[in-house]
């Protein structure tokens, strides 16, 4: 992975996308760029729901609350609570499956050692409308004028719930973007260390395989899968240095509450490869970036896809790819999807830096950034 300083410096202003879209995001937790990228590109985020998955329900909601406080987005982007549990998977069946087929490095909120960081009293939230219902309302309200893009960045449970209530959801939306759906990763899993195995394991689909199969094989006009591509865009010392330099030093980042999310990205400020949470790839952010700026996408592949839903299978919850010509056509439901293989890395890192160094706190009033005061 290489970042050219030139590319980072040359993106002086954010690229404002010609075609503003309406987007609904569901995720098992949240990081700032996932919501900032779409608004930076000029799109409208109609809602963000947070669901169980890698984080518990309370932690996902708490993370989203903190980000919305930092960037002052609550007045115009509603937050919802999405799925509180998978459709069928439970803690017990998850653990029993692991004892049959091997432990996962990352078990998310199903980990026996998982402890909540937040409690419900840490923040305010409004759960009068479930995430799935809010998603349906957003899709219905815009279906004839400006169909909504759905970004399912965690488990696909909330979208599956919405499809069960309102099966026309897929047809009435513009399309589906997912984070997850790795393939060709058995070799990496067999030969890698724990972090490599972790990075090549698809918890988003594994935690709720039935929901993933329901959602992927619904009647979307467009399905964009951010599988492998999301794994190669990772932090680096060079990126950390650029962020620190732009802020005028690490201390400035530490002491300015506006940079809370940059600070947590930097960890200690020293990039230590493969060794901690801070070095994990920009998974969800990568999908958010090319959803927001489609011109970032360089290479794609068309394939038919389905999710293994056989419990008694080591691949329960894994994505299965087929050549569309040879995919099953009866019985086992498959869908045609676009897999993103390569994006413009330099531009991605440039947009990351640029987006963090804009002042979004007046977004709800001015629908864009205002001057950042350092």
Ligand X SMILES: *[C@@H]1O[C@H](CO)[C@@H](O)[C@H](O)[C@H]1NC(C)=O
Binding residues for ligand X, rule: CB under 6 A, are 62, 72, 75, 117-119, 122, 126, 128-129, 184-185, 187-188, 192, 196, 200, 228, 258, 268-270, 273-274, 300-302, 304, 324, 334-336, 341, 359, 361-362, 364-365, 370, 372-373
Can you give the three-state secondary structure of the chain, one letter per residue? Answer: CCCCHHHHHHCCCCCCCCCCCEEEEEECCCCHHHHHHHHHCCCEEEEEEECCCCCCHHHHHHHHHHHHHHHCCCCCCCEEECCCCCCCCCHHHHHHHHHHHCCCCCCHHHCCCCCCCCCHHHCCCCCCCEHHHHHHHHHHHHCCCCCEEEEECCCCHHHHHHHHHCCCHHHHCCEEEEECCCCCCHHHHHHCCHHHHHHCCCHHHHCCHHHHHHHHCCCCCCEEEECHHHHCCCCCHHHHHHHHHHHCCHHHHHHCHHHHHHHHHHCCCCCCCCCCHHHCCCHHHHHHHHHHCHHHEEEEEEEEEEECCCCCCCCCCCEEEECHHHCCCCCCCCEEEEEEEEECHHHHHHHHHHHHCCECCCHHHHCCCECCCC
Strand partners, 343: 297
Closer residue to ligand X in complex, CB, 66/94: 66
Closer residue to ligand X in complex, CB, 94/158: 158
Closer residue to ligand X in complex, CB, 95/188: 188
Closer residue to ligand X in complex, CB, 94/160: 160
Closer residue to ligand X in complex, CB, 96/184: 184
- Find the shortest distance in angstroms from Cβ 250 to ligand X: 8
- Find the shortest distance in angstroms from Cβ 3 to ligand X: 17
- Find the shortest distance in angstroms from Cβ 251 to ligand X: 12
Tokens 């393939």, residue located:
183
Residue 310: count of CB within 10 angstroms of its CB: 10
- Find the shortest distance in angstroms from Cβ 96 to ligand X: 28
- Find the shortest distance in angstroms from Cβ 184 to ligand X: 4
- Find the shortest distance in angstroms from Cβ 255 to ligand X: 12
């Amino acid at each position: 992975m290489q970042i050219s300083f030139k590319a980072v410096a040359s993106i002086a202003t954010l690229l404002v996308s010609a075609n503003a879209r309406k987007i609904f995001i569901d995720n098992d937790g949240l990081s700032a760029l996932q919501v900032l990228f779409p608004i930076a590109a000029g799109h409208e985020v109609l809602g963000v729901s947070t669901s169980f998955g890698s984080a518990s329900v309370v932690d996902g909601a708490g993370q989203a609350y903190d980000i919305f406080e930092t960037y002052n987005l609550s007045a115009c982007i509603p937050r919802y609570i999405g799925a509180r549990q998978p459709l069928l998977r439970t803690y017990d069946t998850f653990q029993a499956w692991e004892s049959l087929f091997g432990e996962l490095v990352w078990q998310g909120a199903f980990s026996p050692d998982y402890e909540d960081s937040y409690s419900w009293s840490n923040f305010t939230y409004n759960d009068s409308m479930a995430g799935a219902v809010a998603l349906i309302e957003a899709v219905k309200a815009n279906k004839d004028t400006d169909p909504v893009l759905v970004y399912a960045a965690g488990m696909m449970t909330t979208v599956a719930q919405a499809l069960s209530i309102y099966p026309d959801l897929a047809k009435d939306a513009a399309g589906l973007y997912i984070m997850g759906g790795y393939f060709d990763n058995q070799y990496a899993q067999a030969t890698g260390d724990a972090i490599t195995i972790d990075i090549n394991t698809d918890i988003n689909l594994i935690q709720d395989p039935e929901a993933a199969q329901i959602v992927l094989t619904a009647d979307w006009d467009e399905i964009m899968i951010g599988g492998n591509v999301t794994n190669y865009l990772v932090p680096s010392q060079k990126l950390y240095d650029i962020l620190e330099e732009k802020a005028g030093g690490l201390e400035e980042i530490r002491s300015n509450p506006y940079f809370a999310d940059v600070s947590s990205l930097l960890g200690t400020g020293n990039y230590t490869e493969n060794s901690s949470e801070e070095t994990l790839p920009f998974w969800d952010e990568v999908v958010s970036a090319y959803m927001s700026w489609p011109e970032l996408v360089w290479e794609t592949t068309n394939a038919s896809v389905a999710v293994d839903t056989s419990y008694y299978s080591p691949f329960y919850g894994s994505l299965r790819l087929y050549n569309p010509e040879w995919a099953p056509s009866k019985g086992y439901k498959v869908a045609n999807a676009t897999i993103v293989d390569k994006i413009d890395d330099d531009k991605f890192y440039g947009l990351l830096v640029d987006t963090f160094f804009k002042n979004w706190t007046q977004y709800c009033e001015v629908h864009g950034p205002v001057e950042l005061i350092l």
